Amino acid sequence: MQHKIAPSILSADFANLRKDIELVNDSEADWFHLDVMDGVFVPNISFGFPVIQAIQKYAKKPLDVHLMIVQPERYFENFQKAGASLLSIHIEASTHLHRSIQTIKQLGMKAGVALNPHTSISQLEDCIQDIDLVVLMSVNPGFGGQKFIENTFCKTSALKELIIRKNAETLIEIDGGVDLNNYSKLIVSGADVLVAGNTVFSSNDPQKTITQLKNFSLD
């Protein structure tokens, strides 16, 4: 399977949001990545349901929604109604992870679990077969434009080994600091989905940058 590219809308121009949505629509990107922050789980606030609904109105590709919030289970149905195709919650914010995964799936969405840089993948040992997507944070969550954490390569490889050993079909998504210098090594390490924010939207030619990120092959 060829890897997927999910431009992070957090880095888009919110004064011209529809223009950037159309840019992604017309590119080789696969998903829209939407970071929802509450100012409690992470020290930043991003956007909520009205913005997601506005994006969904024009988006022609799936919405990959990443919740960086406390008590995410309170809002699963709201995000489904707002248009989320994939919904990822942080393991650090989820007391009853398995129940949450099942609820997300019952609502018709793919279920993702996100891990902060310090969180061990061993915590996924008992539920990896139930998870559609694991989001490995390669920066400390809360802000875009941070420096990539090099240990992510090792963590990605170890997670891929766990997925294979458990005969799971889980995808690995890397979120934070992905750029044209490290994306190929991430794919070699086992990444299936690359989230790219500043790398795409700060580029002089965002569509060309997306194509570059997309067109690396292990073959």
| pLDDT tens across the length of the chain (219 residues) | 799 999 999 999 999 999 999 999 999 999 999 999 999 999 899 999 999 999 999 999 999 999 999 999 999 999 999 999 999 999 999 999 999 999 999 999 999 999 999 999 999 999 999 999 999 999 998 766 678 999 999 999 999 999 999 999 999 999 999 999 999 999 999 999 999 999 999 999 999 999 999 997 766
Q: Which of 20, 30, 35, 38 is catalytic?
A: 35
Q: Is residue 178 part of a domain?
A: yes
Question: Domain containing 30: what range?
Answer: 4-214
Q: Is residue 219 part of a domain?
A: no
Rg, the chain, Cα only: 16
Could you tell me the CATH number of the domain that includes residue 75?
3.20.20.70
Q: Is residue 159 part of a domain?
A: yes
Q: What is the pLDDT of residue 93?
A: 96
Virtual CA dihedral for 195, 198, 203, 207, nearest 10 degrees?
Answer: 30
Residue 92: phi and psi, rounded to 5, are: -70, -15
Q: What is the pLDDT of residue 1?
A: 73
Q: Is residue 64 part of a domain?
A: yes
Residue 95: phi and psi, rounded to 5, are: -70, -40
Q: Is residue 31 part of a domain?
A: yes
35 noted as active-site residue? yes
Q: Is residue 96 part of a domain?
A: yes
**Rounded Cα distance, 158 and 62, in Å:** 28
Q: What is the pLDDT of residue 216?
A: 76
Virtual CA dihedral for 82, 176, 141, 80, nearest 10 degrees?
Answer: 10
Q: What is the pLDDT of residue 149?
A: 95
Q: Which of 20, 38, 64, 175 is catalytic?
A: 175
Q: Is residue 191 part of a domain?
A: yes
Q: Is residue 10 part of a domain?
A: yes
88 CB neighbour count, 10 Å cutoff: 28
Structural domains of the chain, count: 1
